[in-house]
Structure 1
């Protein structure tokens, strides 16, 4: 999976229509940790993995194609 950036994090939250607080709850981390990451880009790898796992549980994937971002993974029938 691609590296999580503040921009990709905001994109993924937008896909799910999650607030910062909702992401923090889903990832099992503090609200202030999410806010700090989005503001400064500072977070431990463990924190980033928890955030990415919360998105993955809802079929959202962090991507790094030409630009960093996020996408909703479609379920195959």
Structure 2
């Protein structure tokens, strides 16, 4: 396939997936380790870890579809 715009969609899809995976692992791992080591965590930390988990899942799930399928088709 010819690249007209110069964007590397496969690299963007991989980078987005691994960024989402990293956010997901940091969010879930921190919550599990935090509860195991300290028992109860403050509410703002629970909210932060939950938000990292949800945002990481959303980025990791949507990035391959957006940059791997949709964007190359619209070019």
TM-score in terms of structure 2 length: 0.30
Larger radius of gyration: 2
TM-score in terms of structure 1 length: 0.30
Q: Where is the strand percentage greater, Structure 1 or Structure 2?
A: 1
Q: Where is the helix percentage greater, Structure 1 or Structure 2?
A: 2
